[in-house]
Structure 1
């Protein structure tokens, strides 16, 4: 069973796009978070999703939220992906699938494709929305609306 609304974002560490150590504790309790898990850099759906988050990133920032993308790709893959599409937000490398496992993100298509799930948490780190859909574009509006609700 994966994390659901009402659960707390777990503590985790990972390497970010620049190869630096990222710790969830550095953001939990400071700002609302949108953590989205996606299957793979440079695939059509994932590129669409990342670019849609990029295009609305300022809307999230204006509401005080941070966007974090997580996939099993390497730091090098994230660097290329982030650079090519000018992604302004954090991408985390989860090559050992520890973060995906912590959150309980499912796999799709007979366990071959890592799932696409977006978690939105309030400033205290409590999850207020979980959106599980392989339709990449739908995640951005759902996440933005959830952030707007907690800010109003």
Structure 2
């Protein structure tokens, strides 16, 4: 069962595209848009990443960070980030621990692939929004930014 609004976001530590160890808890005090995507270098995942990249300045102005997670290895996400000049961190969950922890494994897939799912996590580490079955063509990054704006204006 995918984690729900109001639940504490499980902490984790993964290696980023630049080889840095990243913990979710390092972002306490900020909003985090945590998005899971199936595979680097595919059309939908590229479109989704590029749009988050375009909106990153607006997202950062709202005291928020973007983290993308897939089961790709570090070398693949490094190439992906470099090719498209992503300014946010991509994280490698090659053993699938975080994908399992957040229960976003693609159900019909025999290999370890994440279902497109996005969590918005508040500065206290609580999940405040979940987008499931995301379609990159539906301007998902824009919806995430709009939701973040609503959340910030409520606070």
TM-score relative to the length of structure 2: 0.92
Listed one character per residue, the Cα deviations across residues 7-53 of structure 1 (whole Å, up to 9, x for unaligned) are: 111110110111121111111x2200000000000000000000000
Decide which moves more: 86-95 or 124-133.
124-133
Q: SS state of the match for residue 128, structure 1?
A: strand
Q: SS state of the match for residue 101, structure 1?
A: helix
Q: Does 1:58 align with 2:46?
A: no
Listed one character per residue, the Cα deviations across residues 48-100 of structure 1 (whole Å, up to 9, x for unaligned) are: 00000001111101111000000011111111110110100010000001011
Q: Name the residue aligned to 1:105.
A: 104
**Structure 1 unaligned residues grouped into runs of 5+:** none
Q: Name the residue aligned to 1:143.
A: 144
- After the TM superposition, which parts of structure 1 deviate over 6 Å for at least 4 consecutive aligned residues? none
Preserved contact between residue 52 and residue 137 of structure 1 (Cα < 8 Å): no
Aligned length: 150
**Structure 2 unaligned residues grouped into runs of 5+:** none
Q: How does 1:82-93 map to 2 (within 5 A)?
A: 82-93=81-92
TM-score relative to the length of structure 1: 0.94
Shift of 1:131: 0.4
